[in-house]
Amino acid sequence: MFLVNHVRKWSILSLFAVLAGFLPPFGTLAEARDPIPVVVTIPVLKDLAEQIGGQYVRVTSLLSGYENEHTYSPKPTDLVAVRKARLLLEIGMGLEVWVSSLVKNAGDQSLRVITTSQGVELIRDDADAHGGTHHEGEAGNPHVWLDPENVAIMLRHITQAFIEVDPGHTAEYQANQAAYLRQLGQVQKELLERTQRLSDRRFIAHHPAWPYLAKRFSFEIVGTIQMQSGTEPSALHLQSLIEKVRRENIKVVVSEVQLSRRLPELLARETKAHIVVLTAMPGGLAGTGTYLDMLRYDVLQLADALETIS
């Protein structure tokens, strides 16, 4: 009898403990049920926002990872998402030329736009002889997230924005940021070790997405197929690339999954170079669902190709 009572008492107590754990105290109930609505322009920002915000944010990415980030045209559902959002995270630097009209049309004065590339050390596109620069703005090449050191800077902007909108979870956001920075550092170290021993580091780029990745991991971009998004390169430009690849014995041509494979294939066919398909957007290829998966995938594919083909 005593034993039964004892057990019952304990199970009621533990039931209370479980309930207390699930139910937040009064006042924070609405907050806990309503995560901050956040809209981001491209999938890499969705991953970073979710890493920091966890359960306290609900993130919608306008691009899914299969579209061209420069020539994207917003859908009606994007406008709805932006109207509902409290924060909009963008890369900036002229990447999302289509975003300012979207924000203007949404007409929501309380929406805060966070430009995550602020403070990143810019790399300028070469205005080379074959058709000028890739992007409208002269702010520099906008593919800053392809260097993990820049992602650390972007992460700080995102954490700061979440803390300002929701100061009640400051400690959680800061802890998540610290945990992710550790992972980021670990992956960077691993990839730097992998790329250290490469003897040939040269490749032809599809579009100018890779200067930050190349700088961090010491790859060398020796030519670019498509300097301007949505514009076909000239026959003269292609011919000079083919000659360069043959003359300098370049082994690797990068093709991007978001762009047509036709020109990289033409280049590979006319030379002895091999194609490596990469993605600058998480989710573009199988096994690239997160930023860290994508970074690892791109660097390892490139390193493997440079090593095995040489």
Where do contacts with Zn ion occur on this chain (CB under 5 A)? 209
Closer to Zn ion by CB, 48 or 259: give it. Answer: 259
The distance of closest approach from Cβ of residue 268 to Zn ion in the complex, given in angstroms and rounded to an integer, is 21
Q: Minimum Å distance from CB 251 to Zn ion?
A: 24
| Pick 45 or 209: Cβ nearer Zn ion | 209
3-state secondary structure 235-259: HHHHHHHHHHHHHHCCCEEEEECCC
- Output the smallest distance, CB 178 to Zn ion, in A: 31
Closer of 57 and 63 to Zn ion (Cβ): 63
CB 252 within 8 A of CB 203: yes
Q: Which residue number places its CB atom closest to Zn ion? A: 209
User: 3-class SS at 169?
Assistant: helix
Q: Residue 229 Cβ, how far from Zn ion at the closest point, in Å?
A: 6
Distance of closest approach, residue 194 Cβ to Zn ion, in angstroms:
25
Tokens of 142: 């906008």
Task: State whether residue 206 is helix, strand or coil.
Answer: coil
Instruction: Specify the long-range contacts of residues 189-193, CB closer than 8 Å, at least 24 apart.
Output: 190/296, 191/217, 191/295, 191/296, 191/299, 191/300, 192/216, 192/217
Nearer to Zn ion, 38 or 209 (CB): 209
Which lies closer to Zn ion via its Cβ, residue 63 or residue 158?
A: 63
CA distance 219 to 223: 12
User: Angle at the Cα of 97 (from 95 to 102), degrees rounded to 5?
Assistant: 125
